[in-house]
Amino acid sequence: MTSTRRDSTLPRQPADSMTDRLVEFVGLLRDHGIAAGPSETLDAASAMLALGLSDRARLRSGMAACLLRRNGQRAVFNQLFDLYFLTVEQPPAATESVESLRDRLTAALTEDDPTTADLARQALTQLGAYGGAGTGRSETPVTTASGAGWSAYQTMKALRPEELIERIAVGPTELDTAVRTIEANRRLTEFRTAVQTEARLRSAQLRGTEYIARRGVQSSPDQIDFLGAREQDLAEMRRLVHPLARKLATRLAARRRKSVRGHIDMRRTLRRSMATGGVPIAPVLRARKHGRPDLVVLADLSGSVTGFAEFTLQLIQALQDQFTKVRSFGFIDTCDEITDFFTPGEPPSPGLAARIAREANVARYGSSNYGEALQGFLDHHLDALGPRTSLLILGDARTNRTDPNLPALQTLCDRAKHAYWLNPEPSRSWPTGDSAAHLYAEYVTMHECRNVKQLAEVVGRLLPN
């Protein structure tokens, strides 16, 4: 019965070929940070047999349910799935004008047009080819004709769809205009995604599926570097922080439950052993008292690391129930307390770091000066540190070639119970240029935190037991 089902659901596909394709696909998922193991792979294979290959959208959803575990992974999964399981349907060359294509796009944005995918393919064929792609001149392999390809950016730039939104979204009332704008933007996003998908498929046909899968697929939001993130990337990353904080809080609660027992209580153990003839079969342990520490965060708010500081402060504030007290301080070239800019239980608004830089006394001249900032904290806020305090410093340690003021950092570390430094730059960059990270690392434990994934791992390790 099983073999009959396989024959009916996988027509024209040799079993070993589809198996190899699935294994290669799962391997690429792992390379992009999606931890899919053997059991998930077997589940995905069963889903392929059950769902068949005729409806690729249904197959994509079924395999995603088998292979994905965390938020923020679906976009990467969709891109890789399309490369491995969709086929290229390149329309014949046409001479339709750009204005005609824009008129068709206007109609698609105005109404729920089912021909959007066809329009995306046609637009890419006419406007997205470069280096001889689509003209029959790129018959040789990629290694010898690497200049050919397809560009979704070039296609969208020629169509200028953003200009059409304002024209089609005007309604009789402000509410109608707002609703039409939202719907038009949603359809525009679908069209842009269709163009990008088609461009990747055709580029994979020219350069190879594995090449495009490794170099032409956008990273998942939790693996995008803070220092290189675009505005749309930051919006996706913000949506990950609060679910991440809940998971960390749950993990910490479980860790505390497992460690609430300490040394053996000999008196109670001997008393209990009387019931078993004096044999201490069930030792009684003393309950350990766990006090929650205070946390002081000292964050660099200069433009180069604003995104990193904003995400880390947001995560720390979401976890503030794990501490007795949380106090936050910001600096650029001078230091000021910024605790009041955060409301417990509410996520900070986008652009918070820029607002703090405008309203708080964190800058005099506007360029990072770690030495002056550390000295300012030492002079005015040293009472925030004590024997129960954990100090968390956030920044890239780039001093603009000013004095790093190592004695001030040593004083802060000596006064706090624990001190940690989270750096958004890769560790290989710490001893380069104007960075003093390698000097500061001699006094404080420094951790690399380039993206949300690394931030979660580091914060999870540093949380109190």
pLDDT interval class at 265 (50, 70, 90): confident
Q: What is the tens place of the pLDDT at every residue in 8-46?
A: 343 444 444 778 888 888 988 888 888 888 999 999 999
pLDDT digits 0-9 by tens, 378-400: 999 999 998 888 899 999 999 98
Average pLDDT over residues 132-136: 61
Q: What percent of the chain has pLDDT over 70?
A: 85
Provide the pLDDT confidence category of residue 409 given band limits of 50, 70 and 90.
very high
Q: What confidence score (pLDDT) does residue 295 get?
A: 87
Average pLDDT of the residues in 426-436: 91
Can you read off the two tokens belonging to residue 4?
């009959």
**Pick from 310, 321, 410, 312: which is nearest to 357 by CA?**
310
Please report the DSSP string for 136-172 in residue order.
T---S-GGG-TT-EE-HHHHHHHH-HHHHHHHH---S
Mean pLDDT (the chain, rounded):
80
Instruction: Categorize the per-residue pLDDT at 446 as very low, low, confident or very high, splitting at 50, 70 and 90.
Output: very high
Would you list the domain boundaries of the chain? Answer: 18-85, 98-133+148-213, 233-254+292-462, 263-291
Tell whether the model's pLDDT for residue 365 goes beyond 80.
yes
Q: In what order do the strands lie in the sheet with 325-331?
A: 335-337, 325-331, 294-300, 389-394, 418-423, 445-448
Q: At a CB cut-off of 8 Å and minimum separation 6, what does 455 contact?
A: 311, 312, 315, 422, 449
Instruction: Confirm if 123 and 101 have CB atoms less than 8 A apart.
Output: yes
**pLDDT band for position 86 (cuts 50, 70, 90):** confident
- What is 233-254+292-462's CATH number? 3.40.50
pLDDT tens track for 232-260:
777 777 777 777 777 777 776 666 666 55
Residue with more model confidence, 59 or 104: 59
Is the pLDDT score of 2 beyond 50? no
- pTM flag (> 0.75): no
DSSP 335-377: EEE-GGG--TTSPPPTTHHHHHHHHSS--SSSS--HHHHHHHH
pLDDT attached to residue 136: 52
Beta strands 149-150 and 285-287: pairing type? unpaired
Quote the CA–CA distance of 48 and 65 in Å, as a whole number: 12
- pLDDT of 210: 81
Beta bridge partners of 250: none
- CA–CA distances in Å: residue 263 to residues 88, 253, 283, 464: 66, 21, 10, 20
3-state percent helix, strand, coil for the chain, nearest multiple of 5: 55, 10, 35
